[in-house]
Amino acid sequence: MMSPWQWMATRAVDSGSRFISTLPSAWSLRLSSRSRPPKGEPKRIARLADPLADPMWPTVAVLQGQGQQWRRLAVATLSLQPTPVVGWWTVPRSPEPKEHSVKQLRIGLIGAGGIAGVHIAGWQQLGAHVSVFSRSGAAGLVEQYGIEEVDSVEALLEASDMVAILTPTPSHHGYAMAAFAAGKDVICEKPLADTFEHAAEMVNAARSAGLRLFPAHVVRFFPDYVAAKAQLDKGVVGVPTTLELSRAGAAPAAGSWFFDEAQGGGIVRDQMIHDLDQARLLAGEVTEVFAEQNPPSVDGILPRPVTARVVLTHANGATSQVRGEWGPDGLPFGTNLSVKGPRGTISFASPGSDKNEPDVVDSPYTRQNAEFAAARASGDPSRVSPSDGVVAVALAEAAAESIRCGKAVDFSAEAVLALLDPEHAG
């Protein structure tokens, strides 16, 4: 028995969700009794591979979305008869859905610092239109990349569909809240905010406004880290017991805001937060944090160069040793990861290199941008959730507290996420 729901399908696509044709007349679509009716009129109908189906009533999927991002809402049958069956409720034919892709996406960058170049190159590779607002440095980006400069945050928000916040950490919260108030989705460079309380406010504001917030933890898009997570998920080494992660490179410019703990948060919050996030992703929630820094800060200012070590104790008993270094000028950038378990070890080393970033086509920043744009279009989650960004900031804050007090501090992700509105905690 079929359910008494029917739609008028005006477009047809194949099983790969590619457009085939506009139908000359409304076709009758009816759901199987096992499916609930999707909300709103479906935008596309995709035929499923089912050789046993009645050719007059082929099995299809009801899809809803835009551009290249479509979500299956239900399985249904499509009548090849041009007129609906008497007695069924129908929805009038709607206009052709407007295509929307990354090539039509307007990205507004707030900030023109060192990270801006890879963001711009990634968006341009994807075909997006990019504009920028910055209190300084924008002219160089305009000259190098041919992007548009605007003279105010308000003008940028007006000219953008989604904004990327690339400014010093303490300004993230204010810019994000302004973007949400203007109805714009946000990509925010790590760390998400200067405190986890501010980060939680950003998450709640985005969700309350029906908008998206994407924390830009780009290491989750680097191939070696992606491969390590995939191997771990397959059980290659079993449940991890010991993790070692390190990250080293030349320190930021002397006297810059990165060394002011009240501004950049120091090496742990700015650099090592990548590996704190990775450790949690690979080994699960953290219950204790111990950290030390050498040499110590003086009056809230980090020395240059500086190293730090953070030890995480996970709820499953695993431990993560995380090391970071802001070294002397000329120190090549390099990373290491080792995950040990009862069945073996997953490891890789990215040796120090002064070579340029990967080709823009293969850049993790391009992959990150593409996934964020796709998630925005489809409504699907990204691999980096807003709550991930909040917990990463909280871990960095716990490490800073441990450095100050000289002993391990307890940690609870559950307590941190309690700041999120219940429906926003995922």
pLDDT tens for 43-98 read: 444 433 333 333 333 444 444 444 444 444 444 444 333 333 222 222 222 333 33
At 358 the pLDDT is 60
Q: Are residues 134 and 273 in the same domain?
A: no
Task: Tell me the mean pLDDT in the region 203-228.
Answer: 96
How many Å apart are CA 400 and CA 392, to the nearest integer?
13
What DSSP assignment string belongs to 222-245? SHHHHHHHHHHHTTSS-S--EEEE
Q: Are residues 205 and 307 in the same domain?
A: no
Range name among 9-13, 168-172, 190-194, 389-393 with the lowest pLDDT average: 9-13
Tokens (6 digits) for 176: 């994000």
**Cβ pair 231, 406 in contact under 8 A:** no
At 102 the pLDDT is 84
Range name among 24-33, 123-132, 317-326 with the lowest pLDDT average: 24-33
Q: Are residues 227 and 325 in the same domain?
A: yes
Tokens (6 digits) for 306: 């500086």
> Percentage of residues in the chain with pLDDT exceeding 90?
71
Decide if pLDDT at 8 tops 70: no
Domain boundary among the residues 198, 217, 236 is at 217
Identify the domain containing residue 113 by its residue range: 102-217
Q: Are residues 164 and 223 in the same domain?
A: no
Q: Are residues 354 and 270 in the same domain?
A: yes
Residue 212 belongs to domain with CATH number: 3.40.50.720
The answer to the question of residue 90 being in a domain is no
At 391 the pLDDT is 98
> Percentage of residues in the chain with pLDDT exceeding 70?
73
Decide if pLDDT at 350 tops 80: yes
Domain boundary among the residues 179, 202, 217 is at 217
Q: What is the tally of structural domains in the chain?
A: 3
Backbone angles phi, psi at 321, to 5 degrees: -100, 115
The answer to the question of residue 89 being in a domain is no
The answer to the question of residue 84 being in a domain is no
How many Å apart are CA 189 and CA 217, to the nearest integer?
7
At 359 the pLDDT is 75
pLDDT in tens, 356-400: 456 788 899 999 999 999 999 999 999 999 999 999 999 999 999
How many Å apart are CA 235 and CA 7, to the nearest integer?
45
Strand duo 319-327 + 306-314: pairing:
antiparallel
Helix (H) or strand (E) holding 65, with range, is strand 59-66
Range name among 30-34, 343-347, 395-399 with the lowest pLDDT average: 30-34
Q: Are residues 280 and 211 in the same domain?
A: no
pLDDT in tens, 230-240: 999 999 999 99
Place of tokens 């995922």: 426
For Cα atoms 291, 287, 217, give the angle at the middle one, nearest 5 degrees: 70
The answer to the question of residue 133 being in a domain is yes
DSSP state of 127: T
**pLDDT bracket for residue 423 (50, 70, 90):** low
Decide if pLDDT at 10 tops 50: no
The more confident residue out of 391 and 426 is 391
Tokens (6 digits) for 12: 């047809």
Number of Cβ within a 10 Å radius of residue 136: 9
Helix, strand, or coil (residue 12): strand
How many Å apart are CA 280 and CA 264, to the nearest integer?
22
At 291 the pLDDT is 98
At 62 the pLDDT is 44
pLDDT in tens, 242-266: 999 999 999 999 999 999 999 999 9
**Peptide bond before residue 4 is cis, with ω within 30 degrees of 0:** no
Helix (H) or strand (E) holding 116, with range, is helix 116-126
Mean pLDDT for the chain overall:
81
pLDDT in tens, 130-168: 999 999 999 999 999 999 999 999 999 999 999 999 999
Place of tokens 């290199």: 353
Strands (DSSP E) contained in 160-273 are 162-165, 185-189, 213-216, 242-250
Greatest mean pLDDT among 3-12, 53-62, 323-332 lies in: 323-332
Range name among 33-42, 166-175, 250-259 with the lowest pLDDT average: 33-42
The more confident residue out of 105 and 358 is 105
Q: Are residues 179 and 249 in the same domain?
A: no
Helix (H) or strand (E) holding 107, with range, is strand 106-110
Instruction: Show Cβ contacts of residue 288 under 8 Å, excluding neighbours closer than 6 positions.
Output: 312, 313, 408, 409, 410, 411
Decide if pLDDT at 170 tops 80: yes
